[in-house]
A and B are shown apart, each in its own frame.
Chain A
């Protein structure tokens, strides 16, 4: 069954419910207009009081002395700092196995923004939302500020000298020492660990990952003799098959994979266009699954069955567990055919944590001739190294009283292990427990000692994410607190002779000498160690590519009985990692919490995805009659979890899904949001399984009062059936009281999509659409302003929706660049989220198994902007460079502009989110961390993250995307000072630089040579403007979405 105009956003949209009509049509729902909760009711008397107060205040202010401000220069100005000019330092974002080569933008010695490092051939300038948000965690008020002993939830202050003495005594007392860490990709840190182990031979490092890839590593050890992750070449594969691996969102190295993947998805020419085909076999819709051409739906416990089915198809064998869904069986048969027709140019990856399943996948890759081609071993990845089985052994060891000292380094096993409570019990039996963690998280609270390490922006370090790809970490700010780098602590405790304690930065010298002694030898580009170090530090990356490493595949006996057996239960649940929160290790970052989950569009927590049902007549409803925001009890693995429901398309019947990482219990802002599902995870063969059978989901037991989904916020152009009219009308018009007044508006051009084989025909259709639109736009009241825009620069943007994977890096980059406030769960529920750039998610195709388009939507900078001519005070108007300008100080907050914006991209400051000026009645509503007495942004530490080039908006004004005007100003000034024309690279917007796939292009439309001109004008048949037919003339163009689905798959 297909929707008549092919595109939908939600169930209400499909079923055209009256409630949806109302909520979608209104910028702000009725409840949200009641912003005061009856507290600030204003009557005539209050009005007079306020008026009187206002006059009095103004008089007072006029007579008062203006406060004296100081201008404090440097005593000795560092050469590299020019006040007012940003400096960029190459560094690396590393958190466990997550890696991104970055440039850190600093202003007057204060890191404020993360950019990608284009010199890295791993990430190639791309970033992830996690990397973008990492700068905020530097200014986390919950960071531990000094070393000390942990008592009653606090760290009792100690000096490092006394602390070291105490720790060394404990270490020297004998007994086993265990260091618990997540993946460590730093060669120098490993060297430090080795020194520590040499000093204390009874010590051992236990590594596990918050979300495990242990089975993959174990299988590779067996198949290839190397316990590593091969270099997957997504850019070289014509057919990609992923068995539940979310490689674009969370799996191993998503930034790297996304860029490679997008290379084969971009359409440059209509004629003979080619793109890769991507099959995703999964249960819940992951970010990667949402980008797939074909999703094959299975139950979570049938992953092994699906892999064996493919293997059997390729080998002609039989046996092994069977899939329950006949449709999927056929689909896998046809997929196998597709794979065999392109041998050597395919790639099969698998996210399962079952060793036999991974062995099957390795065999499949071998059968398809992919080993040493798309599954390459020249630059193997070290980004996952953990094995949770070691943790299980450690628990036994600790229970037996065999561990004297346990050192926790970055890991949080007291929360993120399935048997966290068992771990906690055992952990208490280790005599001394030391934590390097930066915040008082669940594990640190159980420790006896806290030796907080630096944030990575205060640290020295290196990383080897892939073999031969080295990356340096350099500090961009002096340590804010009395913290010390973990490596330094280890070396100190090991009495290392290589650590020069007299030096100002001992670990820097240690790192430098390691590079001079070890790395220098491995390269030939630089002839002296000094030049080598300086240039490596400058570039941030050092690449010594390996060549010609081919592996041979060991013949491992495959046993279909060792794969997961389908549970056969009615309902199964899958647990997955989200793009923003990960396995919970990023839960304490408000920017990430407020970034909507790309697929479910929810924020601040994890929610249970339930399937939607088609009643066979004309209704689509949530499974079991559940609505979004209803709460249910889920019984799984003997654990009862009460969670909130969100209805999700593409969630197969008989399955539900919930993200990991919710319900953190200590350490920061993530506490109290979502539910902790870790105790529900099952362990098979020592490995954590991210699904469970035998699940009971109750009916509605309650409702989340503040269910924060941005699903229905700022929707545009939704067509729905009006009950009175009995026909399809435009929702916006209905809300305005027009009854189908403008026929042209009903079928709005927001998303275009086609199949790659239909491209030539589709191009003609687009041509016709453009003609129709320009015909509709001929009759206009707007004056001709081509002269106005025709000279000088005209800024424009192009968004390639075939490259956009919806990862959200741009959204967080925008928040970081433009001082966009965090508003909190309750405010998001009230439609008050402030993000200037949202990523709209649309479905198309089959209801039960739809395809997805992501559309980054920001101010379109219309040349005929409808917002401009309704502003009573001319606070928003147009520049001759084509920018829709917003003067905050002129805005009086009528919100007419937001109402009149067809794209719904304007945001109103209902409250004083950034505490620019604090009203007492306002403060209590503004987002604050649990237990804090002042709002989040009122803390001077948090405010250090603000970009000084962008105004902090106050309450009562509208704001929106400015095309990063501060970057435009900077770029123009550079060009002027160098007396030259402006070029593409002079101005790059924050979203553009953040994008891992290069989906966003920005530049000068008046220059025919600029990339954006080439992509949007003339020979760009896929480019269109959203709502092109309403003659607002946006400055942003999009590309039509092209898929390469195997249309015979289900026939």
Chain B
């Protein structure tokens, strides 16, 4: 009887978990939206971007069967080809912009996305302000009071013992008929023993400090240089929730995470021409680097041969035009001229190449994470195989207005992580060859396999 009941419970729990897994899920929808839709559809669901605003799409598609909406999302061109009236209406409005196909999405996943879209659409807008920092990591405690207390007690004890030894010695001397030795404090402090102790202590402290500082030589934890473009990770990764690997796409397939090329920025910024923080000041730098005319919405042919004057004229015009439209002016006022001048100076400062004196060309970012040359580190190994979150090493990037180096990038720091981190042992067929560990896991003599266990502390994992 009991057995049967247990079976029932298990079966129920199983189906429940299954259905739980399969049901439309707003969290899943959010992830799917961020990964698949956010590069073309605005996050606020209200404004147009490369593609239309998604807010209210349920109402717009309401006259048609739900499966049409699914079909539209999976393969819009196919639906257009069938002559679907609303699909064709959308196409006429937006062509030639094509929507990507997402044939892999299930109905439930699409429902999840719709749930998320509705949630965001109906959200009451909050006034912009710094989001509260998440309680990230533990704070280093200040002075170790316990140790100070102990040191004081031990010091007192040593002093008392010294006194006792002195007194006992004097008693012995008196008994032998000698005069007791009375030392002044000065005498005590200049005695051989005290000086020896002092020298020892000083050597110890200096030695420790020297070694400690030598270890830190070349380390740059907290390094927070100014960048040519005031790019805000907080805005992009935090507020807009763009996936890290959307821009740093090589992290999963190369040893370098790579700073994205300017054309990656242009995926969004060909549409988003003004920033929410800095207006035209920063985004125009991208245009000046790659040669994009924001007024004509097109790339400039033969931009590399343009003179600085041509570039100056173009982008000053753009900045001025935007200033005027914002202020509803028909001509630049004094302030406007200053804004234009300042922003142009900013462009020159950020982009002018020291060696060839050109504005056009790559944006020279200041490298923050400088791993020692003799250390090999592979992002793909950690991101794609180890599935380590970027934040583990880079800290709460999504909260950083200006990025700084979060970790020490010291060898001890690497080693510690390799000691503690478990390998994705069961999910990856590569690790099947570690038969012994699998057996030990099965028999219960081992509870986990860390990176250390598969040779993660060996020299030539990182040095060759």
Q: Which residues of A contact B (CB under 8 A)?
A: 58, 61-62, 66, 68-77, 82-85, 787, 790-793, 875, 877, 879-881, 883, 885-890, 949-951, 962, 965-966, 969, 972-973, 975-977, 979-982, 1006-1007
Q: Which of B433, B455, B460 is close to A965, meaning CB atoms less than 8 Å apart?
A: B460
Q: Is the CB of B220 within 8 A of A66?
A: yes
Q: Is B3 an interface residue (CB 8 A)?
A: no
Between-chain CB contacts (< 8 Å), 20 pairs: A58-B214, A61-B217, A68-B225, A71-B366, A72-B363, A72-B364, A73-B261, A73-B262, A73-B363, A75-B361, A77-B261, A77-B264, A83-B254, A83-B256, A83-B258, A84-B256, A881-B455, A885-B464, A977-B385, A982-B430
CB neighbours (8 Å) of B367 from chain A are 68-71
> Which chain B residues border A977 with CB–CB below 8 Å?
253, 380, 384-385
Complex formed: what's the CA distance from A889 to B361 in Å? Answer: 37
- Asked whether, in the complex, the Cβ of A787 is within 8 Å of the Cβ of B365, the reply is no
Does A879 contact B437, Cβ atoms closer than 8 Å? no
- Contact yes or no, A70 B459, CB < 8 A: no
Q: Does B259 have its Cβ within 8 Å of any Cβ on chain A?
A: yes
Q: Is the interface of B mostly helix, strand, loop or mixed?
A: loop
* Residues in chain B near residue A71, CB distance under 8 A: 259, 364-367
Residues of B within 8 A of A881 (CB): 455
- In the complex formed, the residue of A with least CB distance to B219 is A66
Q: Choose one: B361, B434, B460; the contact of A883 (CB below 8 Å).
A: B460
CA distance A561 to B420 in the complex (A): 85
Q: Which chain A residue shows the least CB distance to B214?
A: A58
Q: Which residue of A lies closest to B227 (CB)?
A: A71
| Interfacial chain A residues near B361, Cβ < 8 Å | 75
Separation of A980 and B427 alpha carbons in the complex (Å): 10
Provide the bound-state CA to CA distance between A76 and B291, in Å: 11
B442 at the interface (CB under 8 A from A): no
| Interchain CB contact (< 8 A) of B458 among A793, A879, A979 | A879
B188 contacts partner chain A, Cβ-Cβ < 8 Å = no
Assign chain B's interface to a size class. Answer: 35 or more
**Chain A residues near B429 (CB-CB < 8 A):** 979-981
Whether B448 is near chain A, meaning CB under 8 Å from some CB there, is no
Find the residue from B363, B428, B433 having the highest chain A CB count within 10 A: B433
Give the Cβ gap from A1020 to chain B, nearest Cβ, in Å: 22
B333 at the interface (CB under 8 A from A): no
Asked whether B255 is an interface residue with its Cβ less than 8 Å from the other chain, the reply is: yes
Q: In the assembly, what is the distance between CA of A890 and CA of B411, in Å?
A: 13
Closest 3 CB pairs of A and B: A84-B254, A77-B261, A885-B460
Pairwise interchain contact A973-B385, C-beta atoms closer than 8 A? yes
Q: A145 to nearest B CB, angstroms?
A: 19
Are B378 and A888 neighbours in the complex by a CB distance under 8 Å?
no
Q: Are B459 and A73 in contact, CB atoms less than 8 angstroms apart?
A: no
Give chain B's interface residues, CB within 8 Å of chain A: 213-214, 217-218, 220, 225, 250, 253-256, 258-264, 289-290, 360-367, 370, 373-374, 376, 378, 380-381, 384-385, 427-430, 432-437, 454-455, 458-461, 463-464
Q: How far is the CA of A996 from the CA of B45 in the complex (A)?
A: 62
* B285 CB, min distance to chain A CBs, angstroms: 12
- Most chain B CB within 10 A, of A885, A949, A972, is at A885
A982: which B residues are within 8 A, CB to CB?
430, 433
Interface pair B436/A787, CB less than 8 Å apart: yes
Contact B217 A70 (CB under 8 A): no
- Known A-B contacts A73-B365, A76-B263, A885-B459; the reply to A979 vs B258 at CB < 8 A is no
With A76-B263, A791-B433, A976-B428 known to touch, is A889 a contact of B254 (CB < 8 Å)? no
Q: How far, in whole Å, are A101 and B312 apart by their CA atoms in the complex?
A: 50
User: Is B460 touching A75 in the complex (CB atoms < 8 A)?
Assistant: no
Please tell me which one of the listed residues A790, A962, A979, A1007 contacts residue B464 in the complex, with CB atoms under 8 A apart: A962
Given the known A-B contacts A58-B214, A965-B464, are A74 and B261 also in contact in the complex, defined by CB atoms under 8 Å? Answer: yes
Across-interface contacts of B459 in A (CB, < 8 A): 875, 877, 879, 885-887, 890
Contacts A792-B455, A886-B460: A951 and B374 contacting too (C-beta < 8 A)? yes
CB-based contact B436/A791 at 8 Å: yes
Is A980 in contact with B430, judged by CB distance below 8 angstroms? yes
Minimum CB distance partner of B289 in chain A: A75
Does B430 contact A975, Cβ atoms closer than 8 Å? yes
A886, B459: Cα distance in complex, Å: 8
Q: Least Cβ distance of B441 to chain A in Å?
A: 12
Closest to A977 in B: B384
List residues of chain B with CB within 8 A of the CB of A74.
261-263, 362
CB distance from B29 to the nearest CB of A (A): 27
Question: A888 with B217: in contact, given A70-B366, A881-B455 (CB under 8 Å)?
Answer: no
**Nearest chain B CB to A511 CB, angstrom units:** 27
List the A side residues contacting B366 at CB < 8 Å.
Answer: 68-71
What is the bound-complex CA distance between A83 and B436, given in angstroms? 37
For A890, list chain B residues within 8 Å (CB).
459
Q: Which residues of A contact B360 (CB under 8 A)?
A: 75
Check if B463 sits within 8 Å of A887, measured CB to CB. yes
Alpha-carbon distance between A1032 and B354 when the two chains are bound, in angstroms: 57
Q: B residues within 8 A CB of A77?
A: 261, 263-264
Distance in angstroms between the alpha carbons of A886 and B464 in the assembled complex: 7
Pick the contact of B455: A73, A880, A887, A981 (CB < 8 A): A880
Chain B residues with CB under 8 Å of A887's CB are 459-460, 463
**Separation of A58 and B210 alpha carbons in the complex (Å):** 10
Nearest B residue to A890, CB-CB: B459
A961 to chain B, nearest CB (A): 11
Most buried by A among B260, B427, B463: B463
Contact B365 A880 (CB under 8 A): no
List the B side residues contacting A76 at CB < 8 Å.
261-263, 290
Contact: B433 with A981, CB < 8 Å? yes
Docked pose: A950 CA to B374 CA in angstroms: 9
Contacting residues, chain B, for A886 (C-beta < 8 A): 459-460, 464
A793 to B376, CA, bound (A): 20
Q: Are B381 and A973 in contact (CB under 8 A)?
A: yes
Which residue, of A73, A83, A790, has the highest number of chain B Cβ atoms within 10 A?
A73
Q: Which of A75, A962, A966 has the most CB of B within 10 A?
A: A75
Chain B nearest CB from A796 CB (Å) reads: 15
Please, which residue of chain B has its CB at the minimum distance from the CB of A71?
Answer: B367
B384 to chain A, nearest CB (A): 5
Please give me the residue from chain B that is nearest to A962 by CB atom: B464
CB distance from B213 to the nearest CB of A (A): 6
Q: Collect the chain B residues with CB atoms within 8 Å of residue A973's CB.
A: 378, 380-381, 385
Specify which chain B residues have a CB less than 8 angstroms from the CB of A790 in the assembled complex. Answer: 436
By a CB distance below 8 angstroms, the chain B residues around A792 are: 433-434, 454-455
In the complex, what distance in Å separates the CA atom of A190 from the CA atom of B458? 56
The reply to whether A72 and B362 form a contact with Cβ atoms under 8 Å apart is: yes
CB A960 to nearest CB in B, in angstroms, measures 11
Q: In the complex the two chains form, is B365's CB within 8 Å of A969's CB? A: no
Complex Cα–Cα for A792 and B451 (A): 13
Q: Are B260 and A73 in contact (CB under 8 A)?
A: yes
Q: Which residues of A contact B384 (CB under 8 A)?
A: 977
Q: Which residues of A contact B253 (CB under 8 A)?
A: 82, 85, 977
Shortest Cβ gap from A46 to chain B (Å)? 23
Q: A881-B455, A951-B373, A969-B376 are contacts. A75–B436 as well, Cβ < 8 Å? A: no
Distance in Å from the Cβ of B360 to the closest Cβ of chain A? 8
> Please, which residue of chain A has its CB at the minimum distance from the CB of B225?
A68
CB atoms of B428 and A75 under 8 A apart: no
- Contact residues in B for A962 (Cβ distance below 8 Å): 460, 464
The residue on B at minimum CB distance from A875 is: B459
CA distance A592 to B373 in the complex (A): 29
| Chain A residues with CB below 8 A from B381, complex form | 973, 976
- Chain A nearest CB: distance from B315 CB in Å? 16
CA distance A881 to B455 in the complex (A): 8
Task: Report Cα–Cα, A981/B376, bound state, in Å.
Answer: 23
Expressed in whole angstroms, the Cα–Cα distance for A949 and B377 within the complex equals 10
Is there an interface contact between A82 and B254, defined as CB atoms closer than 8 Å? yes
Q: How far is the CB of A565 from chain B (nearest CB, A)?
A: 60
Within 8 Å CB of B213, what residues of A? 62
What's the least CB distance linking B414 to chain A, in Å? 14
Residue from B220, B260, B434 in contact with A791 in the complex, judged by beta carbons closer than 8 Å? B434
Starting from the known contacts A75-B362, A84-B254, A875-B459, 6 additional A-B residue pairs (CB-CB under 8 Å) come to: A70-B367, A72-B364, A73-B260, A74-B261, A75-B290, A77-B261
